[in-house]
Amino acid sequence: MAAPSEENIRFFGGPLDGRVLELGDTEPVRGTVMRHVHLHDGPKIETHYSLDYTTESGWEYRLCGVADQDGVVET
């Protein structure tokens, strides 16, 4: 595993697993929830990722729920 970075955020779980997002000039806020909607080849899949920071792994978005067909988030 790569060393923690203050310059990017790693994704864990769901369709974005393994991706890395560069922060640029943005200031990350612990606890922020990001919504991702997947529309390719089939039904819409909505996933939610929660932002956190640890000294061991740096900034990371972890899968925190998937919305069902009615938009209700299952955790």
Q: What's the rounded Cα separation, in Å, for the pair 59 and 61?
A: 7
Nearest Cα neighbor of 26 from 55, 46, 51, 45 is: 51
Domain boundaries, the chain: 8-74
Token digits for 68?
């069902």
Which pTM was predicted? 0.76
DSSP 8-state secondary structure symbol assigned to residue 37: E
For the stretch 3-17, pLDDT in tens is 566 789 999 998 899
Instruction: Name the 3-class secondary structure at 34.
Output: strand
For the stretch 29-70, pLDDT in tens is 999 999 998 887 878 888 999 999 988 889 999 999 766 656
